Structure 1
Amino acid sequence: VFKATQAPLKSETVARLKEKRQQRLKMQEIFTELVLYMIFLAVLYCVSLSNRDPRWYNVKNHLEQQLVTSNSISVGGSTLKYDQVTSSASLYTWIDETLIPFLFPRYHSNGDQLKANKRLYVQDQVNFRVGPMRLRQLRAVQEPCRTQLWDNFTCYDEYFISGEENGNYCVAWESRPCVRGQAVYNMTYAAWNFVSSADIWGLPVTGLHSTYGGGGYIAEFIVNYNISRLVLNDLYKYTWIDRKTRAIFTEFTLYNVDDNVFVFISFLTEFPETGGVIASTLIKPFRPYQHVGSLGLFIFICEIIVLIGIIVFSVHKYIWFRRYGKKMWKELWHVLDILIIMLFFVATIMYIGRWIMINMAMKEWENHKNKFVNFSHIASWDELFNIFLAFIIFLTTFRIMRVLSYNKRINQFGKVLAHVSRDLCGCFVMFVMVYVAFVTFGHLIFGRHLETYKNLFVSSTTLVNAIIGKNSIKDLFSVEPVLGRAYYFFFVLFLLWILMTMMNATLNIGITIVRKKPVRSTYGIINIVASFWREAVGHFIASNNTTTKDRLNLSRNYISKKKFRKTIVVTRQDETQQVDMVKPTEDLPKKKKRARRIYQ
C-alpha cells in the first residue's frame, strides 16, 4: 500500500524550481572553480615570492653605502666613492684605494690582523668573496675622420658590438710580434688579448650610453691584496685605458652566508666618444639554492603542486580544443588560458636551465677557487626567469575576472568597454599623434640643454610624468623663457584639457547607456557565498517557528487540501497482476481528472 500525503505541485512552481535547480548547479560549479583557482593562485604566489626576498634591498643598500655613495663611512682610508669617478685616473684611484681594500681586508676594525679564514670575507665580514674580481674592457676601432680639416687627426667612432676591436696585442697595445719573455715576466700579458663572449659565458649588457658585448680584454686579479695592487699598477703604467676604450666593467661575486644569497656586482664605466665618464652600478642578488631547510621543502612541494596543476589545466584545454576547435580562438578567455600555459612551459624550461648553469658555475669555482668565475649569465637568466614569472602571476591574477564575469558589476564593466571601444580607439590614435608631435618638438628644441629631453625616449617619459602631474618646468623655463612657456601651455591645452576630456566624455556616454540597459546576472559572488553559507548552517540550525506540516499548509505552491484528498490507497494483487484504485470521494479539478496508472 502506497500513501501519498502531499498534494502535487503547480506547473508554474515546477518550472520555477527547475530553473532554481539549474542555477544552483551552475553556482556550485562556479564556486568550486573559484575555490580551486584561489588555492592554485596562493601556491603560485608562494613559489614566485620565494624567488625574491625583501631583505635583498638591504644587501644592495649596504654594498652601495660601502662602495658607491660618497656620504658613507670611508673604507681603506679613502673617501673616494664610485659616484665620484669622473676620469680614468679617478677610476684607478677608486679601485686602488676603495675597492681592493674592501675585497681583500687585512685588519680588523680594532687594528688586529685578520686570520686566514677571516680574509676570505670582504671588509664587512658578512659577505663571502666568491673568487677574485676582474676588469673587462670594450674598445672601438679606428675610423677615418668625417672631415679632414687637418691631416694629422686620428678618429675613433662610437662603439658597436658588430664593429668592436677584437685583435690581440702585446703589452701597452703594441702590435705583434711581442718581445721574448713578455708572457712570462709581465703579470698583465693576458689583459691585452681579446676573449670572445662564448669563452667566458658573457652576455650583452646595455649601459646608459650604448650596448656592449659579453667579451673583451680581461684583466684578472688574484685573491690577494698585494698581487692585486701590482696588477693594477701595471695596467696604469702601460696605459691599459686609452682613447679607444669605450667601457670598463669591474665585476665580482659575493655570497651572503646569513641570507643564502649570491650577489653579482658590476660597475660599468663608460667612456663615450664625446669625452667624459658615465658611471652606473648593477647589483643583482639571486638565490641559486632555494630548497634549503623546512621553508625550502615547502617551496619544493608548492612547485610540484603548480606543475601538476598546470599539466591538468593543459589537458583540460586540449580536450576543449578537440571538442570545439577554432571556435576557442573567438573567446578572449581561452586565448588567455593558452598564453598562460605557454608561459608556464617556457618558465619551466628556464627553471631547469638555471639549475644546470648554477651547477656548472659552482663546479668550475670548486675546481678553480683562485680564478674568476662568471655568474653574470646566471644573474641575468634569473632576472629573465622572474620577468616571465611576473607575467604569469599578472595573467593568472587577471584571469580571476573570468570566474567573476558572472557578477553584475563585472559584466557592466565589460559592456561599457565593448560599447565605446571604437570611439576610444579613435581618441587614442589622435592622442598618440599629438603626443609624438610634442615629444619630437621638445627633443629638437631642448635636447641640447636638458637631460630630460636628451633623446626621444627620455623626452617621452618626461611628458608622461607631466601628464600625471610630476613635471620639471623650472629647468624648461630657465633654458627657454618664452618658447618653454609656450610649449608647456599648448601641451596642457591640447593633451590634458581637450584630448583627455574627450576620452572621459566617451567613457561617461558608455556608462550612461549601459546603466539604462542593465546586465542581468544571477550569479553574483556574494549570492554564491551566501547560498553555500545558508546551506552549511541549515544542516545544524533548525527553525522552531513553524512545523513542516504547517509550512506545507501555508504554502501557495501546493493545491489546497479542500480540493484534493490526501490519502490514496493502492492495492496490488501479485497473482492476477490486477491493479485496483480507490478513488477519492470528492471530485478532482478538471485538469486532474485523468486516472493515474501504476505499471509494474
Structure 2
Amino acid sequence: MSKIKLTFCIEIEDNFQSKEGGIVQLNTKLIIHTLGLKIEIHNTLRNTILTLIEKIISVLFQLNMLLLCIFSLCYSNKDLNSFRYQQNLKNILGGAKSLENVTKIEHIYDWIKDRFLISLYSGTKENLMADRTTYLLGFPIVRQLRVNKQICYGLELRSFCYEDYDVLKQDKESYGLKWSVNKSLDLEMKNYSDYSDSFLYKTSSQLETYPYFGKYKSYFGGGFTFDLKNRIKSLDQLRSDIENLQILRWIDYQTRAVFIELSVYNVNLNLFAYCTILFEILPTGNFISTMRIEPVILYETNETSKYLVIAVNVLYLVFIAFFMLKEIRRMYKLGLGNYLTQIWNYVEWTIFAFSWAAFSIFLYRQYAKDDLFGKIKAKDQLVRLQLLSYWNDVLGMLFGFLSLFGTLKFLKLLRSNRTIWMFICTIRASLHDLISFSFLFFTVFLAFVQLIHLIEHHNSKEFSTLVGSFETMFGMILSKLPRNIYFGHNTFNKIVISILFYLVIVFVMVNILITILTDNFNMVRKESKKGADSSILYAFLKEKAKMIKKIIWTFFKRSESDTDVLSLQEANVETFGQIDQDISKIENLIYKNKINDQIF
C-alpha cells in the first residue's frame, strides 16, 4: 500500500470577553486545513477532558482523606508498647514455662501458692503487683467448670465416669463442702464454713463472665468461684485458703477447666489488660495450660489527643455518610440489577457496614468505660474487663478490614494503569476456570488429608486431628515438613503417601493452576492490543495532558491578536482519514462514558 505524504496546518481560534479583573476565555475552535478542506472542531472535547481530569483529582482527594481518617482511627486504638507489656505481665505471673510443669491437680494448687500469689504483692500497702508499676483492679478470682457424672459402660472398674466438657454435660448444681449433695457435712466441718460459697454455682451474669476459647475446648461463662481478696488478706492467709481448698477437694475428677482471671492497669503506659490463666483437664488425664494477656486502650492520656480523636471520628462519619449517599444515587441511576453486577459495589458497602459497626462499638466502649471507672473507685468490687477486651478485639479486626478495603479502593482508580488493568482482567477471565479448579483441588487435597489422618492420628501430634492434618498438609505444599514425619511407625507408608502427595498436588495441580492463569493472561494481552476501545485511561490522560500543555504554551505566545494562525509541523500520515478516525475514537470513548464506567 502506498503512503501519501500530507502537509496540514492547524489554526486555533479563541474568543475572549473582557470583564472586571481580567479577560475570560469563552470558547476555543480548532481548524484543520489540508487538501483544500477546512474542518472545524470546537472545544467540547477539551472541556470534557478537563472535566474528567477534575473528577479524577476530586475522587483521589476524597479517597486520600478517607484513608487518612481510617488510618488515624486504626493506629490511635493501638499502642506500640502492648507486646512488651504482655511479656512483662507473663514474666510477673510466672511465665509460660512454669505452666508446663503443671501435670496433676496438686500442681495447680502448688502453682497458685508458689507462683501466682507472690506476683500479687509488691510489699507496699498499695494494690500494686510485684513489678510496682501495675495496679490490680478489684481482686482476682479462681473459677472452675465441671461436668456431670456419667454411668460407665464397658468394664465396670468404678461406679462413675467423667466425660469431656460440653455445655449439655456441664454441672450447674450447688453443693455443700466437699461436693456433698445433702450438705449435712457442712455442720460437721464448721471450721471450713467460709468456703461454702465456693461450692455454689454462679451464673455468667452474676460473675460477668463470657464464653472463652481455650486451646482444647470452648468454655461458657459461670461456674464455681473462689475470690482472692488480696486487699483484705495477707499472702500467708491466701496461701492458707488455697491449702484449705485442697483439703476440701475443690478441684477433683469432675473438674474440666480452672480459670484464674484478673484485671490490671499500667498507669505509665495508660494500658489496661485482662489476664487469663487456664488449666484444661482432659478426659485422657492430660493437662493443657495457657496464659493470655489482652491489652485494652480505654481513654487518651491528655485532653488534646482526646479532642483530636473525636474530631477524626466526626470527619470520618461525614465521609462515610457522603459516600453512602453517593452510592445510593448511583444505585438509583443504574438500577438495582446492574448495580449488583459490579464487584466494587460490594467493597463499598462492606466499608459502610464495618464503619457503622465500629462506630457502635466505640459508643458502647464509652458507656462501659464510665461503668468500669465507677467500680474501680468503689474498691473491693469485682472488676471485669473480659467483655471490653472481646469488643476491643472485634474493633481491631474491623479497623483492619477497613484499612484493607480502603487501600484496595486504589485499584479501582489505578486500574487505568496498563499493568493493573491486565491483572484485573486476567483474574476476571480466569474466574470460571479457577472456580472449577478449586473444586477439583480441594477434593483431591481432602482425600490425602483423610488418608494420612486415619493412618497417623494416634502416632503423630500434627495428624492427631482432622484440622491439624489439614494445616500440616497445606504446609507441606510450601515445603514445611513436620520434623518427625519419616520417623516412628509406618515409615514406609508415610514415604509413599508423601511421594504421591507431591506428585499429584505439587507437580500436577499447582502446574494446572499456573497454566490457567498464564493462558488467560496471554488472551488478555492479545485483546488489549486490538483497538482503542480496549485501551485504558492512563495513556489517554497522558496524551491529553500534552495537548493541554501545548494549548497553554500557545496562549502565552499570542499577545497581540485574538486570532493567530499557528503553523505546527509537517506530519507523515497514511491518510487524512486516520486523523479523523483517531479523534472520533476519543470522542466516542468519552461520550459513551466508557472511561467513567471503568473508573467511577
Question: In the alignment, what sits opposite 1:358?
Answer: 369
1:469 is matched with which residue: 464, 479, 487?
479
Equivalent pairs, count? 532
Question: In the alignment, what sits opposite 1:234?
Answer: 244
Aligned-partner Cα distance in 2 for 1:134–1:236: 16
Question: In the alignment, what sits opposite 2:175?
Answer: 169
| TM-score normalised per structure 2 | 0.82
Q: CA RMSD in A?
A: 3.1
Deviations along 1:94-140, one digit per CA (max 9) or x if unpaired, are 1111111111222xxxxxxx3x23xx211111111112211010001
Question: In the alignment, what sits opposite 2:347?
Answer: 336
Relative distance call for 1:191 and 1:8 in structure 2 (3 A) is closer
- Structure 2 segments unaligned to the other structure (5+ residues): 1-13, 17-27, 571-600
Question: In the alignment, what sits opposite 1:82?
Answer: 99
Deviations along 1:153-173, one digit per CA (max 9) or x if unpaired, are 311111112320000011111
Question: In the alignment, what sits opposite 1:127?
Answer: 134
Structure 2 residue 59 is matched with structure 1 residue 33:
yes
Question: In the alignment, what sits opposite 2:254?
Answer: 244
Structure 2 residue 152 is matched with structure 1 residue 145:
yes
Aligned-partner SS, 2:278 = strand
Aligned-partner Cα distance in 2 for 1:183–1:532: 96
Question: In the alignment, what sits opposite 1:569?
Answer: none
Aligned-partner SS, 1:131 = strand
Deviation at 1:183, TM superposition (A): 8.3
1:523 is matched with which residue: 537, 543, 547?
537
Relative distance call for 1:529 and 1:17 in structure 2 (3 A) is closer
Deviations along 1:29-66, one digit per CA (max 9) or x if unpaired, are 11210122112101210101111212100011112233
1:220 is matched with which residue: 206, 223, 227?
227
Deviation at 1:146, TM superposition (A): 2.7
Question: In the alignment, what sits opposite 2:591?
Answer: none
Question: In the alignment, what sits opposite 1:21?
Answer: 47
Q: Note if contact 1:158-1:273 (Cα within 8 Å) is conserved in structure 2.
A: yes
| TM-score normalised per structure 1 | 0.82
Deviation at 1:393, TM superposition (A): 1.8
- Structure 1 segments unaligned to the other structure (5+ residues): 72-80, 107-113, 558-600
Aligned-partner Cα distance in 2 for 1:23–1:183: 92
Aligned-partner SS, 2:276 = strand
Deviations along 1:460-501, one digit per CA (max 9) or x if unpaired, are 111121112222254344443201111111111111100000
Question: In the alignment, what sits opposite 1:158?
Answer: 164
| Letter paired with 2:194 | M
Deviation at 1:199, TM superposition (A): 1.8
Aligned-partner SS, 2:143 = strand
Q: Note if contact 2:437-2:513 (Cα within 8 Å) is conserved in structure 1.
A: yes
Aligned-partner SS, 1:172 = helix
Q: Note if contact 1:197-1:216 (Cα within 8 Å) is conserved in structure 2.
A: yes
| Letter paired with 1:83 | E
Which residues in structure 2 correspond to 1:440-589 (within 5 Å)? 440-472=450-482, 474-518=484-528, 520-524=534-538, 527=541, 531=545, 552-555=565-568
Q: Note if contact 1:168-1:193 (Cα within 8 Å) is conserved in structure 2.
A: yes
Structure 2 residue 296 is matched with structure 1 residue 286:
yes
Aligned-partner Cα distance in 1 for 2:30–2:324: 48
- Name the one with the larger strand percent: 2
Q: Note if contact 1:182-1:189 (Cα within 8 Å) is conserved in structure 2.
A: no
Deviation at 1:438, TM superposition (A): 1.1
Which residues in structure 2 correspond to 1:46-195 (within 5 Å)? 46-69=72-95, 81-106=98-123, 114=124, 116-117=125-126, 120-147=127-154, 149-150=155-156, 152-178=158-184, 179-180=186-187, 186-195=193-202
Relative distance call for 1:184 and 1:47 in structure 2 (3 A) is farther
Aligned-partner Cα distance in 2 for 1:341–1:182: 62
Aligned-partner SS, 1:362 = helix
Q: Note if contact 2:265-2:272 (Cα within 8 Å) is conserved in structure 1.
A: yes
Aligned-partner Cα distance in 2 for 1:184–1:150: 37
Relative distance call for 1:176 and 1:525 in structure 2 (3 A) is farther
Deviation at 1:70, TM superposition (A): 6.4
Question: In the alignment, what sits opposite 1:589?
Answer: none
Relative distance call for 1:10 and 1:158 in structure 2 (3 A) is same
Q: Note if contact 2:70-2:402 (Cα within 8 Å) is conserved in structure 1.
A: no
Q: Note if contact 2:96-2:290 (Cα within 8 Å) is conserved in structure 1.
A: no
Deviation at 1:361, TM superposition (A): 2.7
Relative distance call for 1:358 and 1:551 in structure 2 (3 A) is same
Q: Note if contact 2:49-2:544 (Cα within 8 Å) is conserved in structure 1.
A: no
Q: Note if contact 1:69-1:83 (Cα within 8 Å) is conserved in structure 2.
A: no
Q: Note if contact 2:69-2:312 (Cα within 8 Å) is conserved in structure 1.
A: yes
Deviation at 1:330, TM superposition (A): 1.7
1:423 is matched with which residue: 414, 423, 433?
433
| Letter paired with 2:349 | I
Aligned-partner Cα distance in 2 for 1:457–1:13: 73
1:10 is matched with which residue: 26, 32, 35?
32
Deviation at 1:420, TM superposition (A): 2.0
Aligned-partner SS, 1:252 = strand
Q: Note if contact 2:271-2:295 (Cα within 8 Å) is conserved in structure 1.
A: yes
Relative distance call for 1:7 and 1:298 in structure 2 (3 A) is closer
Aligned-partner SS, 2:294 = strand
Aligned-partner Cα distance in 2 for 1:153–1:381: 44
Structure 2 residue 372 is matched with structure 1 residue 372:
no
Aligned-partner Cα distance in 1 for 2:324–2:450: 47
Q: Note if contact 1:221-1:227 (Cα within 8 Å) is conserved in structure 2.
A: no
Deviation at 1:545, TM superposition (A): 8.9
Deviations along 1:68-103, one digit per CA (max 9) or x if unpaired, are 4367xxxxxxxxx22322222122111111111111
The percentage of counterpart residues that share the same residue type is 18
Deviation at 1:339, TM superposition (A): 2.1
Q: Note if contact 1:264-1:379 (Cα within 8 Å) is conserved in structure 2.
A: yes
Question: In the alignment, what sits opposite 1:203?
Answer: 210
Aligned-partner Cα distance in 1 for 2:202–2:217: 20
Aligned-partner SS, 2:275 = strand
Question: In the alignment, what sits opposite 1:561?
Answer: none
Deviation at 1:181, TM superposition (A): 9.4
Relative distance call for 1:521 and 1:27 in structure 2 (3 A) is farther
Aligned-partner Cα distance in 2 for 1:204–1:252: 16
Relative distance call for 1:227 and 1:501 in structure 2 (3 A) is same
Aligned-partner Cα distance in 2 for 1:445–1:229: 48
Aligned-partner Cα distance in 2 for 1:266–1:7: 77
Aligned-partner Cα distance in 2 for 1:426–1:551: 64
1:318 is matched with which residue: 300, 325, 328?
328
Aligned-partner Cα distance in 1 for 2:546–2:375: 59
Aligned-partner Cα distance in 2 for 1:529–1:50: 43
Aligned-partner Cα distance in 1 for 2:421–2:15: 46
Aligned-partner Cα distance in 2 for 1:292–1:533: 53
Aligned-partner SS, 1:130 = strand
Q: Note if contact 2:152-2:158 (Cα within 8 Å) is conserved in structure 1.
A: no
Q: Note if contact 2:122-2:132 (Cα within 8 Å) is conserved in structure 1.
A: no
Question: In the alignment, what sits opposite 2:21?
Answer: none
